Structure 1
Amino acid sequence: MEPSGTDRLKTVILLLAATGLALGLVLWFADRPDLADLVWIAGVVPALVALVIEILRSLRSGEIGLDIVAALSMSAALVFGETLAAAVVAVMYSGGTFLESFAEGRARREMHDLLSRVPRTATRHRDGGLEEVPLDEIAMGDRLLIRQGDVVPVDGTVASDTAFVDMSALTGESLPVRLARGAEAMSGSTNAGEAFDLTAMREAKDSTYAGIVRLVEEAQASKAPMSRLADRWSLGFLVVTVSIALAAWWFTGDPIRAVAVLVVATPCPLILAVPVALVAGLSRAAHFGVLIKGAGPLETMARIRTLILDKTGTLTDGRPQIVSINSANGMPADDILRFAASLDQASKHPVAQAVVAAAKLRGQALPIPTDVMEMPGEGVKGRVEGREVIVGGDDFVASLVGRGDRGLPGKDVGSVLVAVAIDGQMAGHLVMSDPLREGTSAMLAGLRRQGISRILLATGDRAEVAERVTEGLGLDGLRAGLTPDQKVLLVLTERKHGPVMMVGDGVNDAPALAAADVGVAMGARGAAASAEAADVVLLVDRIDRLGPGIEIARASRRIAMESVVVGIGLSVLGMIAAAYGYLSPVQGALLQEVIDVAVILNALRALRIAPQDVMSANPASRPAAGQDTAQGATP
């Protein structure tokens, strides 16, 4: 992604200020002080003009920032001929704003690579053929072709005999759903089976997905702006600075003392140390697979007290897994799985792919099936090693071979049965469900140790499924069957307990992510809408990265605060010394540089933050020198 015009302007201003300072020093040492003054002034003016424009913008919006102190010190130094001091302040100030811009630009570039394609066209039947049309040209009654893997572009009814769609991004249902002819398919769901025809019920602008996008926009517009740590110190520091400078001038009659006070007071520990610590924190978080979109979200992340979690694809993996294998005629479970997986190699159905993956995970060798015939949404028939095998839904397989003497095995709420028949007899059932991610309980305990006082589950799935999956986690609340706008309402209601973090991965989570103080999206497999609306994206498909992300945010903010307190304390001592005449403006600028170096070195400690939860929970994940622990993360 190309840098914005503002980013380029900040880079140019920094280069001009730094070049002016360096060239002026060369001329000064060459005994050309007149030319040195002109060069220093030329380097300061662009930074000062940009600074004044930014101050006027802030004042119009009712904000008073640290920019005023920097503008006063540069202006006073120029007015009273202290051009070298003005040049030093210009470099320090423009360097700080450049660092902040760099942090935000880095997050934008990484985010650009994360977002997947959102459908903008659809395939429409017209005059016996097919045509690609923009979504806004689709009218009610149009017949559309939804190919395998396509996202349903508009709300409509199924016009084919059957359709198999993945609605997890919209409703939280972790397993694909079979829709019969005439059933409604919602925009934003994904075709998980064979291609089917859809009759448009609504235009794209009135469909489910468009409504969710509008909710995201409304939530982002109503979200309170994140307060920068540096700005919260600005007013008090401005009052102290101006008071000491005026007092020095009033009691001594020497304006140069006031200039020296202002130069020493230029809040470079705030302007430089804070962005350095936060940029270092952003880089360190990315090292562990956590992309934080700028310093503002990182600061807010450090103050989170309430956590709201989605279920499907967040607490759970979002993909069906085999939890048990039940034999109906004494056949070994491994043989049932091997025959089922061998035949399912010929199917692209999500459940079939999960069965194949489970068999390969157990190291089973899978022969190639022959004479394969698939019934979309029902099951698949074929031959494996010369034996006739049928795999599919229990009703489908039972209608062909009967259920056998044992009947149906028991299963938990939210599980599904995959029946397997061999040579005309029911061989057994694979019980599949979407279980909790490994280490979820330990992850939640770690978050509580970090100060998260409330943890809630918010899901669009059924209550009995959510309760069964989260049993024993010790959640502070569970809300099931929620629509996107109800999730937003829950986020807003929970704000009374403190800043709220929302974690989700589906389209239906996007409005709540936008409304939360910090929204976190599962970026590896989550929907583009949720990643777009979120402030934080987990680059790897692991919810346990949330703990290290919060720990890094808090440590970075603590380091920034340490740098600020020490730096401001030293600056106040320098201001007092300047007021008494012990420091000239240039000496004050050099002293401020020494203070800057000290606080920046301290701020850089954020690059070495080692999250304890990651290291203690998984010692094998401890990175060696130069080695990254998160696939796809950028150190």
Structure 2
Amino acid sequence: MLPVVIISAIPIALLWDVKPWGSAPWVSALATRMSMSMGSGDGVASSSAMPFPPDPSIGQWIVVALVAYTVVDTVRGMIDDIRHGQVGVDLLAVMALLSTLAVGEYWASWAVVLMITSGEAIEEYAQSKAEGNLNALLQAAPRTAHVSNMPGVGEGTGDSWFQTVPVDQVKPGDVIIVLPGETVPVDGELLSGSATLDLSAINGEPVPREVYAGARVMSGAVNGATTLAMRATELAADSQYQRIMALVSEAQESRPAVVRAADRLAVPFTVLSLAIAGVAWAVSGSPTRFAQVLVLATPCPLLIAAPVAYIAGTGRLAAAGILIKTQDVLESLGRVTQIFFDKTGTLTVKQPQVVRVELVTSHRPRLDEDHVLMFAGVVESYSVHVLAKGIAAAGRDAIERLHARYAAGQRACPEPEASWAGHGRDYPVVRHVEEIAGKGIAAEVNGHAVRVGRLSFAAAGDDGFLATGSGTGFAPSDTSADAQAGLRRTRFGTLAADEMASYVSVDGSLVGRIVLRDVPRANARETLSGLHALGVEKLTMLTGDKRASAEIIAREVGIDEVHAELFPEDKVAAVRDAHSPVTMMVGDGVNDAPVLAVADLGVAMTDGTSTAASESAQVVIMNDDIAAVPRAIAIARRTRRVMLQAVILGLALAVVGMVAAAFDLIPVVVGAFLQEGIDVVSILWALTAVIDRD
């Protein structure tokens, strides 16, 4: 309607005085009678009296038509709002239109129509701007998939070996072809040898990730430069990106309590506006004064500015890799006073990291730390033990260092065939892998027998007794706890409270131990300091680990209070018994599900591959970055601050304008345009919530 209203100004102006039917006799007679009743003794209508009912010209009838359409459309909108449980408070706009028309202020009526239609346009612009980050996620959703229709896929490049179908038709087990630059349509397993995937839409990870055959491939990931083949493991509705979209849609459609409160405040504002307008009419005796006040009465700061600010805040969170279930979460985020943290995987990295390698003296210089890490790492890459991933990662780094040394010309290995440490080979050759639960894992690496695990397992010979070549100083049959403790003390010393170790033997001889510990995230201390700076009163750790190791991590990262050696029900009780207005629990969203659910705000930190988190948490951090916690709080607080500023500023200007109009300081046409300016100011101010200033 906005272009129609703007263009209509031309025929209204040109046909303002055109009355091809002439003046209606009844209008003149009525005007004379009204003039006489108001005390005009000469029988002629007073120039100050407005004719009622009016006798419009063609141009003025155009205004009447615009007003009629706008009133009907506005009333229908009010009824629809009420049906959806919202307060329909566009009554002021309807009364402003009818009152200006009744007193013959046609240009003011046109200005109010312009105000309403342009307000809708501004609202749509503001909403689309505020929802930009959310809409980007929704629009990137995969809608089709290429399903292979012949065996042996993955080698072709044309379209002869697949058919394109809607993504909803993909079934688990289907082989999917994803072309370069396309979005992975459903969750699945990679069949191609390798692929490079951009996960930024899922978890904000800026650097593409390289994955290999058998790896999980998530919907929403963007394929790199080569075609990949994958096998679908989930329906589209159950895949990762669709779950993200469900969270985004849920947040978009929700209305936070503060916005619902703003809707309710619009009712007393309407009553106040009518009261000011009625008093102005009663005191002045002029119905025009009533219209003058109403054209300046605008609830838009409440009805539009508040939700625009909150949608903008929700979009900013999404852009930062933080998804919320409802906009009410924004309100709660800004009032958090105590935060509970899980330890392992939240304050620390997700698996224990290698901190040092301790060698048995008799094996120097034949083996160095990188040799031991290489042997242990390639063996542990086949294990599911809790320490395996950390050792495997350290082993991969060690192999790179050994390759670099070999390429630089270093030939430190004493054996002519250079079989130690994989020198001269791209990758170590591994055979005969065997894992014994609770003890360790053994394999043949480059022809050498390697054992990694508990001391009794690594140092034992084939018969299960401590090997004589271990240099233990104990008899071969002496496998008692005292003997093993003596070996640890004499060869390696005592581990710290938060350390753990795996022992390594090569060819039946104990060569060293690899010491690991829970390492704090690199930005954990800075993040927790930032939370204190934001005014969060208490930071608490909840963990099932031993108190000694928990307190070491707590001191390193800046935790205020430690609750250690807890069972899941103990964690729930600790959060439930907290005496804080708003509590938050931050965990991994899987084993912390009960305590995430009981906190006022549950925050699940994931790397974009976990979907269980969305079931128990109100906030899901998709980029596995603990720094997102203070960022979320800062965004929430700024969103609320901007919203309040926009509402208070808009309402204050409107009230000042209405009072001025009541004293006849603002003409009715000028007031209509001033109200438009007030709406623009409040809405644009609310839109500043989308700007990143934190």
What interval of TM-score do these two structures reach, taking the shorter chain for normalisation? 0.5 to 0.7
CA contact (8 A) 1:320 1:433 kept: yes
For 2:387 and 2:344, locate their aligned partners in 1 and report how far apart those are by CA, in whole Å.
16
Deviation per CA, 1:521-545: give whole Å up to 9, x if none: 2132574232344333222111022
Which AA in structure 2 matches 1:54?
D
Q: For 1:479-628, what aligned pairs fall within 5 Å after superposition? A: 479-480=563-564, 487-494=571-578, 496-524=579-607, 527-583=610-666, 586-611=669-694
Q: Any gaps of 5 or more consecutive residues in structure 1?
A: 1-16, 60-64, 115-131, 134-148, 151-223, 612-635
- What residue in structure 1 maps to residue 379 of structure 2? 343
Q: Any gaps of 5 or more consecutive residues in structure 2?
A: 16-58, 102-108, 142-170, 173-187, 190-254, 404-421, 473-485
Q: For 1:143-222, what aligned pairs fall within 5 Å after superposition? A: none
CA contact (8 A) 1:85 1:585 kept: no
Which AA in structure 1 matches 2:395?
A
- What residue in structure 1 maps to residue 81 of structure 2? 54
- What residue in structure 1 maps to residue 321 of structure 2? 289
- Partner SS, residue 323 of structure 1: strand
The Cα shift of 1:227 comes to 3.1
- What residue in structure 2 maps to residue 629 of structure 1? none
Which AA in structure 1 matches 2:509?
Q
- What residue in structure 2 maps to residue 227 of structure 1? 258
- What residue in structure 2 maps to residue 388 of structure 1? 449
- Partner SS, residue 487 of structure 2: coil
CA contact (8 A) 2:323 2:620 kept: yes
- What residue in structure 2 maps to residue 433 of structure 1? 517
- What residue in structure 1 maps to residue 94 of structure 2? 74
CA contact (8 A) 1:417 1:430 kept: yes
Greater RCO (Cα-Cα under 8 Å, separation 6 or more): 1
- What residue in structure 1 maps to residue 34 of structure 2? none
For 1:71 and 1:492, locate their aligned partners in 2 and report how far apart those are by CA, in whole Å.
46
Number of positions where the alignment pairs a residue of Structure 1 with one of Structure 2: 483
CA contact (8 A) 1:37 1:84 kept: no
CA contact (8 A) 1:502 1:520 kept: yes
The Cα shift of 1:357 comes to 1.5
- Partner SS, residue 470 of structure 1: helix
CA contact (8 A) 2:263 2:303 kept: no
- Partner SS, residue 643 of structure 2: helix
For 2:138 and 2:341, locate their aligned partners in 1 and report how far apart those are by CA, in whole Å.
22
CA contact (8 A) 1:44 1:86 kept: no
For 1:398 and 1:227, locate their aligned partners in 2 and report how far apart those are by CA, in whole Å.
66
The Cα shift of 1:20 comes to 6.2
The Cα shift of 1:451 comes to 0.9
- What residue in structure 2 maps to residue 250 of structure 1? 282
Which AA in structure 2 matches 1:72?
L
Q: For 1:63-142, what aligned pairs fall within 5 Å after superposition? A: 67-68=88-89, 70-78=90-98, 81=101, 82=109, 84-86=111-113, 88-89=115-116, 92=119, 96=123, 107=134, 110=137
Deviation per CA, 1:232-251: give whole Å up to 9, x if none: 85466445334323322332
1:340/1:600 Cα in 2 relative to 1: closer, same or farther (>3 Å)?
same
Deviation per CA, 1:395-424: give whole Å up to 9, x if none: 433444737426235334464432211011
1:368/1:575 Cα in 2 relative to 1: closer, same or farther (>3 Å)?
same
CA contact (8 A) 1:383 1:389 kept: yes
> Which stretch shows the higher mean deviation, 445-454 or 17-26?
17-26
2:496 counterpart of 1:422: no
Which of the two has higher C-alpha Rg? 2
- What residue in structure 2 maps to residue 266 of structure 1? 298
The Cα shift of 1:21 comes to 4.5
For 1:475 and 1:388, locate their aligned partners in 2 and report how far apart those are by CA, in whole Å.
45
The Cα shift of 1:547 comes to 1.9
Deviation per CA, 1:528-582: give whole Å up to 9, x if none: 2323443332221110222222223223332333333322221111111222234
2:471 counterpart of 1:375: no
For 2:594 and 2:125, locate their aligned partners in 1 and report how far apart those are by CA, in whole Å.
32
Which AA in structure 2 matches 1:554?
R
- What residue in structure 2 maps to residue 466 of structure 1? 550
Which one of 9, 12, 34 corresponds to residue 61 of structure 2? Answer: 34
- Partner SS, residue 610 of structure 1: coil
CA contact (8 A) 1:24 1:37 kept: no
Deviation per CA, 1:610-634: give whole Å up to 9, x if none: 33xxxxxxxxxxxxxxxxxxxxxxx
The Cα shift of 1:262 comes to 3.4
1:112/1:38 Cα in 2 relative to 1: closer, same or farther (>3 Å)?
closer
The Cα shift of 1:516 comes to 3.8
1:27/1:534 Cα in 2 relative to 1: closer, same or farther (>3 Å)?
farther
CA contact (8 A) 1:418 1:429 kept: yes
CA contact (8 A) 1:40 1:84 kept: no
The Cα shift of 1:96 comes to 4.3
For 1:109 and 1:483, locate their aligned partners in 2 and report how far apart those are by CA, in whole Å.
42
1:334/1:285 Cα in 2 relative to 1: closer, same or farther (>3 Å)?
same
For 2:297 and 2:544, locate their aligned partners in 1 and report how far apart those are by CA, in whole Å.
54
For 1:460 and 1:244, locate their aligned partners in 2 and report how far apart those are by CA, in whole Å.
64
CA contact (8 A) 1:337 1:359 kept: yes
Which one of 427, 432, 451 corresponds to residue 535 of structure 2? Answer: 451
1:453/1:320 Cα in 2 relative to 1: closer, same or farther (>3 Å)?
same
> Which stretch shows the higher mean deviation, 433-442 or 350-359?
350-359
For 2:138 and 2:502, locate their aligned partners in 1 and report how far apart those are by CA, in whole Å.
39
- What residue in structure 1 maps to residue 106 of structure 2? none
CA contact (8 A) 1:260 1:583 kept: yes
Which AA in structure 2 matches 1:520?
V
For 2:397 and 2:385, locate their aligned partners in 1 and report how far apart those are by CA, in whole Å.
18
1:106/1:548 Cα in 2 relative to 1: closer, same or farther (>3 Å)?
closer
The TM-score with structure 2 as length reference comes to: 0.60
Which AA in structure 2 matches 1:471?
R
> Which stretch shows the higher mean deviation, 533-542 or 577-586?
577-586
CA contact (8 A) 2:99 2:291 kept: no
- What residue in structure 2 maps to residue 358 of structure 1? 394
For 1:302 and 1:394, locate their aligned partners in 2 and report how far apart those are by CA, in whole Å.
51
1:47/1:294 Cα in 2 relative to 1: closer, same or farther (>3 Å)?
farther
Deviation per CA, 1:343-374: give whole Å up to 9, x if none: 33455666433322223345434632232322
For 2:687 and 2:334, locate their aligned partners in 1 and report how far apart those are by CA, in whole Å.
18
For 1:470 and 1:342, locate their aligned partners in 2 and report how far apart those are by CA, in whole Å.
33
- Partner SS, residue 435 of structure 1: coil
For 1:473 and 1:416, locate their aligned partners in 2 and report how far apart those are by CA, in whole Å.
20
- Partner SS, residue 497 of structure 1: coil
- Partner SS, residue 309 of structure 1: strand
The Cα shift of 1:447 comes to 1.0
Which AA in structure 2 matches 1:227?
V
1:534/1:91 Cα in 2 relative to 1: closer, same or farther (>3 Å)?
farther
Which AA in structure 1 matches 2:328?
G
